[in-house]
Structure 1
């Protein structure tokens, strides 16, 4: 059963990424729409999935993906995580996800500063 749950989560993440990269499928404010066009240009799809996995599934992230995340910027990171965390089936735990998001950001900044 855990395997099915993981598959469902992966499908959700892929759908969320599609919505994030194709604003016509999502309902976002004008400011967020402009961010989609400028964010996530330097992050590979694998790193984007890793970032989402850290926040929503307690996975780990590589140093290389941390560097990409920090290079892209905190506003872009916050926009992606907040967008996903506000989905109806996740919103009950939004505060937890935002806390994990901040912890990930701080971790990645510390990794980037030591390199």
Structure 2
């Protein structure tokens, strides 16, 4: 039930775009780069579950995360951290997990076994 609540929170957060809570800088990056159109909702939820909780990410979502790019990914994570729902989380830990997730996806996509 707790993971269902987390998915619901992330879904609401993603759909509302955090307009009220977001800094202008992150919003500007997200808007200029069309970040929210570069990754599907299922994959953003999958990636955010890994970053904000625990789990694994599918190859399909890793591919979408790579297409999203580090700039968009970082801006979306930072905007999410601005939401009061996540005030108790350590931003440095979340950002580190975010970078690790991107790097793991890059390694997975670049590995010879992924193209076989």
- TM-score w.r.t. length of structure 2: 0.81
Aligned counterpart, 1:105: 102
SS at match of 1:40: helix
Partner of 1:56: 52
Alpha-carbon distance between aligned partners in 2 of 1:70 and 1:7, rounded to the nearest angstrom: 26
Q: Which runs of 5+ in 2 are unaligned?
A: none
| Count of paired positions | 109
Consecutive unaligned residues in structure 1, runs of 5 or more:
none
How big is each residue's C-alpha offset from its partner over 1:88-107, in whole Å with a ceiling of 9 and x where there is no partner?
34233222211111110110
TM-score under structure 1 normalisation?
Answer: 0.81
Larger helix fraction of residues = 1
Provide the rounded CA distance (Å) in 2 between the counterparts of 1:90 and 1:31: 19
Cα root mean square deviation, aligned: 1.8
Kindly indicate whether structure 1 or structure 2 has the higher relative contact order, using CA contacts under 8 Å at least 6 residues apart.
2
Structure 1 ranges of 4+ moved more than 4 A: none
